[in-house]
Amino acid sequence: MGIQDRQYYRDEESTGGGFDAGSMTMTTKIVVATVAIYVLDAFIGGREHWLMQDMASGPQDLLHPWLWWRYLTSGFAHDPGDYQHILFNMISLWFLGRSVEAVYGAKEILRFYLVAVVLGSVVQALRQYAMVPEAEWARCLGASGAVVGVVMLFVCNFPKQQLLLFMVIPVPAWFVGVLLIGINLFGASGVEIAMPGGGDRIGRVAYDVHLVGVVFALAYFKFKWNLGRLIPHRLSSIKNPLKPKPNLRVHDPDQYADIDAEGDALLEKVNHYGIDSLTARERKILEDYSRRMQQKHR
- Co-location of 210 and 276 in the same domain: no
Among left, alpha and beta (phi > 0; psi -120 to 50; other), residue 134 is: alpha
In angstroms, the CA 107 to CA 76 distance is 18
**Is position 1 within any domain?**
no
- Co-location of 167 and 257 in the same domain: no
- Co-location of 37 and 77 in the same domain: yes
Q: What is the DSSP letter of 43?
A: H
26-44 and 83-104 helices cross at what angle (nearest 10)?
A: 160
Q: Are 68 and 61 in contact (CB under 8 A)?
A: yes
- Co-location of 74 and 215 in the same domain: yes
Domain closes at, from 235, 264, 282: 235
Residue-level length of the chain: 298
Q: Which residues have C-beta within 8 Å of that of residue 31, sequence separation ≥ 6?
A: 90, 93, 94
**Is position 241 within any domain?**
no
The whole-number pLDDT of residue 65 equals 94
**Is position 242 within any domain?**
no
Q: Which residues have C-beta within 8 Å of that of residue 226, sequence separation ≥ 6?
A: 108
- Co-location of 139 and 255 in the same domain: no
**Is position 281 within any domain?**
yes
In angstroms, the CA 42 to CA 39 distance is 5
Dihedral (Cα; 83, 86, 88, 90), 10-degree rounding: -140
**Is position 166 within any domain?**
yes
- Co-location of 214 and 277 in the same domain: no
- Co-location of 148 and 269 in the same domain: no
- Co-location of 212 and 257 in the same domain: no
**Is position 11 within any domain?**
no
Count the neighbouring beta carbons within 10 Å of the beta carbon of residue 41: 20
Question: What range does the domain containing 266 cover?
Answer: 249-298
**Is position 180 within any domain?**
yes
Dihedral (Cα; 276, 33, 146, 264), 10-degree rounding: -30
Question: In a structure prediction context, what are the per-residue pLDDT tens digits for the chain, which is 298 residues long?
Answer: 444 444 333 343 433 444 455 578 999 999 999 999 999 988 887 777 888 889 999 998 999 999 999 999 999 998 887 788 899 999 999 999 999 999 999 999 999 999 999 999 999 999 999 988 888 888 888 899 999 999 999 999 999 999 888 778 889 999 999 998 998 887 765 444 333 333 444 445 778 889 999 999 999 999 999 998 876 655 555 555 555 555 544 444 445 556 666 777 777 777 766 677 777 777 777 777 777 666 654 4
The whole-number pLDDT of residue 273 equals 65
Number of folded domains that form the chain:
2
Among left, alpha and beta (phi > 0; psi -120 to 50; other), residue 167 is: left
**Is position 6 within any domain?**
no
* CATH code for position 70: 1.20.1540.10
- Co-location of 99 and 231 in the same domain: yes
- Co-location of 223 and 274 in the same domain: no
- Co-location of 295 and 177 in the same domain: no
- Co-location of 91 and 163 in the same domain: yes
The whole-number pLDDT of residue 49 equals 85
